[in-house]
Amino acid sequence: MRAYERLIHYARIDTTSDESKEDTVPSTPGQFDLARSLAEEMQALGISEVRVDDKCYVYGCIPATEGREDAVGLGFIAHLDTAPDFCGKNVAPQIHENYDGEDLVLGDSGLLLRTSQFPHLKKMKGKTLITTDGRTLLGADDKAGIAEIMTAAEQLISSGEPHGRVCLCFSPDEEIGGGAKDLDIPGFGAVYAYTVDGGAENEIEYENFNAASAEFEIHGFNIHPGDAKDRMINAALLACRINGMLPEAETPRDTQDYEGFFHLTQMEGDVEKAVLRYIVRDHSAGHFEARLETLRHIEKIMNSRWGEGTVKLTIRQQYRNMKEKIEPCMHLIENAKRVIRDLGMEPVTSPVRGGTDGAQLSYRELPCPNLGTGGYAFHGPYEHITAEGMDFAVEVILGLIRAYS
């Protein structure tokens, strides 16, 4: 079975994670549906030590062949959940064989996948393009990664090729920052690993944002407008003031590459109470801490002006830049580059303007850079991927297994 065929099957299982239930693992029951289905498939393929634990982590391994028992244990990881940013239910993947490289209508949604917005589409002419119908996301982030790992495992087992121990794990709730914290690293059994959770199939990523979420809870004092002079505290207006105290040009729209940002993701409220929710990102640890200190200073200023307790700031650390943990293990990057070149493409390394499970795992002493899946425009209706890109990603996984065997 080709990887794209597996993706289409997995995409139909709703595994959208839920930020409001981040203290429950997994945050949604649909992730268990996919986990159990994968466990059955793994067992049918002949993968060993297959288990699904009580927190929805799926584990399995392909034991080393005779004579390769001393090879380093190499792991591959992908996540089960899809992003809560956009609808992940009733996904209906659309297959466009021999794609013509031009603008493409997405089902009957009225949306258009435009080459002007996604210039790389021109290079996909003649390939088998998989898109959404415009009403949901596709879920290639990261069901493409799961499909590629499973396909590589199937091909490795059926080939009889000598290899070292290969460890597999599919984890829950990566999209809400929880995918790596409960992964059983000793039980996983790998010395090094790769997440398969990136974009273009020739991408290798080992730098990511330092990340935190931040919430301002603002308490107002509501009184009849006719009696409000010097008494009313309008929480909604204070929320506007707080956002106005942040640098106007340091938003996702205005930044790129290594530039960090404050991103207002949600606001709600009225006179009585208001809430602002942000994500905060920066590649530099020093700049990241400065951003958090800016938020703390805003809280202090607002409370000094409007009274202690008017504004409450809650900051939650999410993940850190994996670069410092990968640099002592640069063979992980050099081997991946060599494999990609041997397959006929030039590798691309770029900073991740986001995070992966590999960031947390690297700080848990499992060095874990990220490989591309071949997918684009994740988290929304324009998500797309090619069957050929997925085939290439499978070959990268197999090439790395050979390199470490």
C-alpha span between 400 and 338 (Å, rounded): 9
Confidence (pLDDT) at 53: 97
100 CA to centre of own chain: 30
Structure tokens at 311: 């504004």
What domains, with CATH codes, occur in the chain? 3-208+321-403 (3.40.630.10), 210-318 (3.30.70.360)
Helix axes 235-244, 285-306, angle to 10 degrees: 140
pTM metric for this prediction:
0.87
Lowest mean pLDDT, pick from 13-22, 129-138, 337-346: 13-22
Burial label for 122, CB within 10 Å (0-12, 13-18, 19+), is: exposed
Reduced to 3 states, what is the DSSP secondary structure of residue 155? helix
pLDDT reading at 22 higher than 80: no
Helix axes 140-159, 3-11, angle to 10 degrees: 140
The helix or strand, by DSSP H or E, that contains position 166, with its residue range, turns out to be: strand 166-171
C-alpha span between 278 and 135 (Å, rounded): 26
Confidence (pLDDT) at 19: 86
Lowest mean pLDDT, pick from 88-92, 140-144, 155-159, 352-356: 352-356
Query: Phi and psi at residue 326, in whole multiples of 5°?
Result: -85, -35
Active-site residue set: 81, 174
C-alpha span between 29 and 162 (Å, rounded): 38
Confidence (pLDDT) at 149: 98
pLDDT reading at 301 higher than 80: yes
pLDDT reading at 354 higher than 80: no
67 CA to centre of own chain: 37
